[in-house]
Amino acid sequence: MSEKDTPSPRPPRKFKPEPFQYHEEIELEITTLTNMGQGLGRINDWVVMVRFALPGERVRARVYRNDKNFSEADLVEVLTPSPHRIEAPCPVFSECGGCQYQHFEYSAQLEWKTKQVKELLWHMARVDHPVLPAIASPKLYGYRSKLTPHFNVPRGDRPMTIGFLKAGTRSQYVEVEHCPLISDEMNATLARVRAKTKARHLEKPFKKGGTLLIREHLDGVSTDPKQTIREKVGDITFSFIAGEFFQNNPSILPAFTGYVRDKARAAGAKYLVDAYCGSGLFTLTAAQDFEQVVGVEVSEQSIEYARRNAESNQIENASFVLGDAASIFENIQFAGEDSAVVIDPPRKGSSEAFLNQLIAFGPRSVVYVSCNPATQMRDLQTLLSGGYQIEEIQPFDLFPQTRHLECVVVLKKA
């Protein structure tokens, strides 16, 4: 049977066969990147998104989904490569969903991340404002201090897979034996933990899947998510629980926290409120420049560690308050007009109720830090309509080789 006579694979049950058939191969020019890191092009004004294709490339792609107004396709062949395309160092790159840009020259990664922040600002908030060039990470590989490989219970006699989600899937994992985003010491620990987990499964099979932890810190590498560990940022040493959130690119944290501190101080505020303070990262790294700093957090455990961190670093002008989402600024003892507020919410952004409380508190300036510029730009609409104006927008690349970044938006009361 010739290749032309080979029957096409059966499409998924809910596949819509318009405008392309399942696994139909198409050729197109890639003109831009989505904020998910996919290459985007058009055929007769119909949008097609292709994973691992880069702007400026002509590619052959295989369609696997038609949505209401776009299609998604796998990259089959690069017909005309981008001048910024490079060889990815990881053998499972393009299979593993953890990285999107290892094949993309780093200077070009930064340019596109900057451009995407500006595009999101316009699309989400209808604001046209300059965006400063993304600040590069000092380390491009070996920068991650935390890795969380996952596994499912294998069916039948299949071997256990320990790694990360396969690109484009929600439940299939790719075996990851070595990750270039972590240090040699972490990779050695990864090898030991993988072997131990697989051996344990052979002796006493797991009933459900799980997540492993490998975390590098000031005193070594830990695998116990409940262990108290330490990390140093500038002159400040932080203690926190290994499994809890703490920014995981230590190489860029001095510049990152220094920028937030400087912009909070620039408006002339005497006091600082860190409204999602965690274990005190922004509160304590900024304390030296304010008369008083207050961290607010809804997690009792995080507040306890923040207080310990202030005490162990002999920072006497910092206090921490266990906050209630309904009245986050109720226990702040100074006036908003004398204050700057730093907010660093989770990926889902801030709630409308929180933003309204922030506006009612009326700080002199707001420094909004976000790992998800899409929800950040959404929230900006509320802050702009509440009497604030954008002063500066500065992306930081805490996550080289991936589509992720942190973005800092500095706002002043109009």
Distances (CA, A) of 276 to 130, 233, 408: 27, 18, 14
Which residues, in sequence order, are CB contacts of 301 under 8 Å at separation 6+? 241, 244
- Cβ(248)–Cβ(144) under 8 Å? yes
Alpha-helix runs per DSSP H in 238-317: 253-266, 281-286, 300-312
Amino acid identity, residue 344? Answer: D
- DSSP three-state, residue 125: helix
Angstrom distance (rounded) from CA 186 to CA 194: 12
Q: What are phi and psi of 185, to 5 degrees?
A: -65, -40
Unique residue bearing structure tokens 């310990």: 308
Active-site entry in 90, 99, 277, 371: 371
Amino acid identity, residue 164? Answer: F
In eight-state DSSP terms, residue 277 is -
**4, burial (CB in 10 Å: exposed 0-12, middle 13-18, buried 19+):** exposed
* 264 CB-side CA count, 13 A: 33
Distances (CA, A) of 274 to 29, 192, 219, 294, 365: 46, 39, 28, 6, 12
**234, burial (CB in 10 Å: exposed 0-12, middle 13-18, buried 19+):** middle
Angstrom distance (rounded) from CA 151 to CA 161: 6
Give the residue numbers of the binding site: 247, 276, 297, 344
Establish whether 99 is a catalytic residue.
no
Give the residue numbers of the binding site for S-adenosyl-L-methionine: 247, 276, 297, 344
- Cβ(51)–Cβ(39) under 8 Å? yes
**147, burial (CB in 10 Å: exposed 0-12, middle 13-18, buried 19+):** buried
For the annotated catalytic residues, the residue numbers are: 371
